[in-house]
């Protein structure tokens, strides 16, 4: 049986501790690796003076991980540079924040080549290789250039931008053409897939065949939509754990009868946090009868703090929450509780369960797992309401949420009012449809969907050519 080689920017080390705070993606990939055998390769998160290619292997829970350190310059140009200052904003439609620097691109190409050099000796001819995310788009082409003929797939966790935006990237053709080194390329939604296909036909003169087959020049690949899910069963269980119950009770006690609205996001401009605060402010202004009866808990742990735009968003939110609280708070009530830290998964599940509304309003998001976690954590007899941005990938599956345009403070305000007034029967009716999807299309389903697509690719390079 062929082994699975997973390559991503960062690697989650396997852990035998059941309370370890592992994300759903790590859990799914580790489970797939355990079943098929193989290796998870990526950056250790550490920097070193000179790149050596020395691999640190770790074993645990039946899985092997392999990590390498990168140079400080790689960290600046590849990770903080091309990945997070160029591709991340551009792919989230933020051309105003996108930085175009030749050094960033050079660092990106260099690190992808280093990854290829380091991983190539670990891969056996029958292995299937699954590469993750925007950090590693050219890795497939680099591996092919080193003679690897394995079946290879690539999954993009973030949106694919519209053609006109993508063409503003210098050398955009080279980047997209490099995707044709893979055999299967996956996107979170049909929307992102369609944007990719329209670029390929419009810019690269590609042609579309049956079953997602796409041809450019002499290369044919399969492009699919494969929406990522969460570890639903275990999240539902987490929401009923003792820790979750305590967190839930703590929230209720501190709420003293007020309705809780919760937001949980990495502190990132794509998550639409200032717009969310402004939408909530509009709600407070237009619904004075609700004053003192509701509050917003926004949990937002900082991320990517070496990038200026991330420091700026933090300053914006500090001042916005201060202004709104200054204007509306009373001696026994603050309308926004704004917390900059992370919580363990069980506790988070309890907080979700205590909330009457889950407010998930990114301006653009590949999928958004918080929306799915909020649904999984609800009490089936008295579920809360999910308010979800139309521009999150999750909106393609979670159509029974209250869908909003996150740019419109008025729509956000109306949605909050609707959700607070929503009768229990309607909340239950909507939630049952939402949980049905979150259970069916969970993270293992996603993982199998992608691996099945890769397994369906003819094994020999000649047959694929």
Toward ligand ADQ, which CB reaches closer, 123 or 185?
Answer: 185
Pairwise CA distance, residues 5 & 131, whole Å: 8
Strands (E), 50-115: 56-60, 63-71
* Smallest gap from residue 135 Cβ to ligand ADQ (A): 12
Q: Are 298 and 276 in contact (CB under 8 A)?
A: yes
- Which residue is associated with the tokens 């059941």? 18
Q: Are 70 and 140 in contact (CB under 8 A)?
A: no
Strands (E), 278-328: 294-299
Toward ligand ADQ, which CB reaches closer, 142 or 365?
Answer: 365
Toward ligand ADQ, which CB reaches closer, 182 or 352?
Answer: 352
Pairwise CA distance, residues 367 & 348, whole Å: 19
Assigned token pair, 347: 């506790």
Pairwise CA distance, residues 261 & 352, whole Å: 9
C-alpha distance across the termini of the chain, in Å: 23
Toward ligand ADQ, which CB reaches closer, 56 or 340?
Answer: 340
Strands (E), 201-257: 207-208, 213-216, 219-225
Residues labelled catalytic: 157, 365
* Smallest gap from residue 364 Cβ to ligand ADQ (A): 9
Pairwise CA distance, residues 66 & 7, whole Å: 10
Toward ligand ADQ, which CB reaches closer, 205 or 301?
Answer: 301
Nearest to 45 by CA among 158, 152, 135: 135
Toward ligand ADQ, which CB reaches closer, 158 or 409?
Answer: 158
For β-strands 357-360 and 259-264, DSSP reports them as: parallel
Q: Are 5 and 41 in contact (CB under 8 A)?
A: yes
Q: Are 188 and 228 in contact (CB under 8 A)?
A: yes
Toward ligand ADQ, which CB reaches closer, 137 or 148?
Answer: 137
* Smallest gap from residue 89 Cβ to ligand ADQ (A): 12
Q: Are 404 and 398 in contact (CB under 8 A)?
A: no
Which residues, in sequence order, are CB contacts of 434 under 8 Å at separation 6+? Answer: 375, 386, 398, 400, 401
Q: What are phi and psi of 63, to 5 degrees?
A: -125, 145
Pairwise CA distance, residues 357 & 280, whole Å: 12
Which residues, in sequence order, are CB contacts of 204 under 8 Å at separation 6+? Answer: 173, 176, 177, 216
Ramachandran bin of 297, using left for φ above 0, alpha for ψ from -120 to 50, beta for the remaining angles: beta
Residue ranges that bind ligand ADQ, judged by CB under 6 A: 23, 25, 157-158, 228, 264-266, 299, 301, 342-343, 348, 365-370, 373
Assigned token pair, 69: 């350190």
């Amino acid at each position: 049986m062929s082994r699975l080689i997973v390559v991503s920017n960062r690697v989650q080390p396997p852990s035998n501790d059941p309370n370890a705070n592992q994300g759903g993606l790590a859990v799914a990939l580790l489970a797939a690796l355990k079943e098929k055998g193989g290796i998870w390769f990526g950056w250790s998160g550490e920097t070193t003076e000179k790149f050596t290619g020395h691999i640190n292997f770790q074993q645990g829970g039946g899985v092997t991980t392999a990590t390498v350190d990168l140079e400080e310059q790689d960290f600046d140009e590849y990770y903080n540079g091309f990945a997070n200052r160029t591709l991340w904003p551009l792919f989230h439609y933020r051309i105003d924040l996108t930085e175009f620097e030749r050094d960033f691109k050079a660092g990106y190409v260099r690190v992808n080549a280093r990854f290829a050099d380091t991983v190539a000796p670990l891969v056996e001819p029958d292995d299937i290789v699954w590469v993750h995310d925007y950090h590693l788009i050219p890795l497939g082409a680099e591996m092919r250039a080193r003679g690897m003929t394995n079946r290879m797939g690539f999954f993009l966790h973030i949106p694919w931008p519209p053609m006109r935006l993508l063409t503003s990237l210098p050398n955009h053709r080279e980047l997209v053409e490099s995707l044709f080194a893979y055999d299967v390329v996956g996107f979170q939604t049909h929307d992102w897939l369609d944007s990719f296909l329209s670029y390929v036909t419009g810019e690269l003169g590609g042609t579309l065949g049956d079953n997602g087959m796409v041809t450019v020049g002499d290369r044919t690949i399969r492009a699919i939509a494969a929406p990522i899910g969460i570890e639903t069963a275990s999240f539902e269980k987490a929401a009923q754990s003792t820790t979750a119950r305590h967190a839930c009770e703590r929230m209720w006690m501190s709420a003293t009868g007020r309705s809780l609205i919760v937001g949980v996001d990495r502190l990132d401009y794509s998550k639409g946090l200032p717009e969310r605060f402004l939408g909530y402010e509009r709600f407070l202004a237009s619904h004075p009868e609700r004053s003192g009866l509701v509050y917003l808990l926004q949990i937002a742990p900082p991320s990517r703090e070496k990038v200026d735009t991330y420091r700026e968003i933090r300053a914006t939110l500090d001042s916005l929450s201060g202004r709104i609280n200054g204007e509306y708070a009373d001696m026994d009530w603050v309308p926004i509780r704004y917390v900059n830290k992370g919580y363990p998964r069980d506790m988070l599940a309890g907080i979700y369960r205590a909330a009457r509304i889950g407010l998930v309003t990114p301006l653009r998001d590949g999928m958004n797992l918080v929306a799915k976690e909020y649904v999984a954590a609800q009490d089936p007899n008295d579920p809360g309401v999910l308010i979800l941005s139309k521009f999150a990938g999750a909106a393609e599956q979670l159509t029974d949420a209250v869908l909003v345009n996150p740019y419109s403070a008025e729509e956000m305000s109306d949605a909050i009012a609707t959700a607070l007034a929503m009768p229990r029967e309607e909340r239950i009716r909507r939630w049952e449809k939402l949980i049905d999807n979150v259970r069916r299309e969970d993270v293992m389903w996603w993982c199998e969907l992608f691996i099945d697509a890769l397994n369906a690719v003819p094994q020999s390079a000649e047959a694929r050519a």
